[in-house]
Amino acid sequence: LAALGARDTLAPARTIKHAPEYTTRTALADAGFSEPFVEDFFRPFLAGVFLEDTLETSSRVFHLVWRSMLRGALCLPAFGVQSVP
Give domain status of residue 76, yes or no.
no
Residue 42 lies in a domain: yes
Question: How far apart are the C-alpha atoms of 67 and 69, rounded to whole Å?
Answer: 5
Let me know if residue 80 belongs to a domain: no
Residue 56 lies in a domain: yes
- The 10 Å CB-count burial string (b at 16+, else e) for 14-24 is eebeeeeeeeb
pTM, whole model, 2 decimals?
0.83
Q: Give me the average pLDDT of each 10-residue run along the chain (85 residues).
A: 93 96 97 97 95 97 95 85 86
Count of structural domains within the chain: 1
Please report whether residue 52 resides in a domain.
yes
**Polymer length in residues for the chain:** 85
Residue 33 belongs to some domain of the structure: yes
pLDDT at 16: 96
**Could you tell me if residue 17 is inside a domain?**
yes
Q: Which domain holds residue 64?
A: 2-70
